[in-house]
Amino acid sequence: MINGPDFSLELAAQASGARRIAGVDEVGRGPLAGPVTAAAVVLDIARIPEGLNDSKRLSAKRRAELHDAIFAMAEVSIAHASVEEIDMINILRASHLAMERAIAGLSSAPDLALIDGNMIPRGLTVPAQAVVKGDGKSLSIAAASIVAKITRDRMMWDLAQQFPGYGWETNAGYPSKSHREALQNIGLTPHHRRSFKPVHNILYQEKSISD
């Protein structure tokens, strides 16, 4: 595959004795609202969906098609870290916690976890390799990126029906102009991350007014 992920990292790991390899990615570090979501995907080398790529490089329609193909052809585990956990332990640690949970949710432990990014979650109990920009290098990580994004986007769409006005059905909780304006005009929801500066500032303003 030209200018996209391939299976070379997985094949190298298999040549070193790793039979079961999971690609792991997360989505949702930047939003002001909603959980952070991670996926772990174990691909079958004989049944890899065609066209896997970094989820950010795919159209919404193609992501949805590949999401369904991944579930049909691979083993998938999805996990989250909640808004409360994000506020308690910080977004980096929470994203790693979601990754740890996704890996733990697989039917059996992988021989190697390929982790998107430059850090290996400290709570992992399986061998792991950090892969910078891994969703553009590893097909397994690319598959995980697609599953995580589709899953979280659908969660935020559902939440948008319960909390209209913030545009979560389109911005997925990210700090778009309309979302930031809604924070000022409507206020906070239970799904907003209090530790994030734009949300924290509104809380501080509200506290100052009440005082």
Q: Is 26 annotated as a binding residue?
A: yes
Q: Is 25 annotated as a binding residue?
A: yes
Tell me the whole-structure pTM to 2 decimals. Answer: 0.94
Answer yes or no: is pLDDT of 3 > 80: no
Query: What digits encode the pLDDT tens for the residues 132-149?
Result: 999 999 999 999 999 999
Phi, psi (5° rounding) for residue 77?
-130, 135
Phi, psi (5° rounding) for residue 78?
-125, 140
Pair of tokens at residue 86: 């994000």
Query: What fold characterizes domain 8-161?
Result: Nucleotidyltransferase; domain 5 (3.30.420)
What is the rounded CA–CA span in Å between residue 138 and residue 191? 32
Mean per-residue pLDDT, 179-188: 94
DSSP structural state of residue 209: H
Question: Which pLDDT does position 206 carry in this prediction?
Answer: 52
Calculate the average pLDDT of the chain. 94
What are the extents of the domains in the chain?
8-161
What is the rounded CA–CA span in Å between residue 123 and residue 67? 27
Least confident window among 1-15, 57-71, 196-210: 196-210
Answer yes or no: is pLDDT of 207 > 90: no
The model's confidence at residue 184, banded by pLDDT at 50, 70 and 90, is very high
pLDDT above 90 as % of the chain: 92
Segment holding 200, helix H or strand E = helix 197-210
Question: Which pLDDT does position 203 carry in this prediction?
Answer: 75
Question: Which pLDDT does position 211 carry in this prediction?
Answer: 44
Q: Is 54 annotated as a binding residue?
A: no
Answer yes or no: is pLDDT of 202 > 90: no
Query: What digits encode the pLDDT tens for the residues 9-63?
Result: 999 999 999 999 999 999 999 999 999 999 999 999 999 999 999 999 999 999 9
What is the rounded CA–CA span in Å between residue 143 and residue 9? 14
* Residue pair 58/86 in contact by the 8 Å Cβ criterion: no
What is the rounded CA–CA span in Å between residue 74 and residue 51? 15
Question: Which pLDDT does position 81 carry in this prediction?
Answer: 98
Mean per-residue pLDDT, 167-184: 96
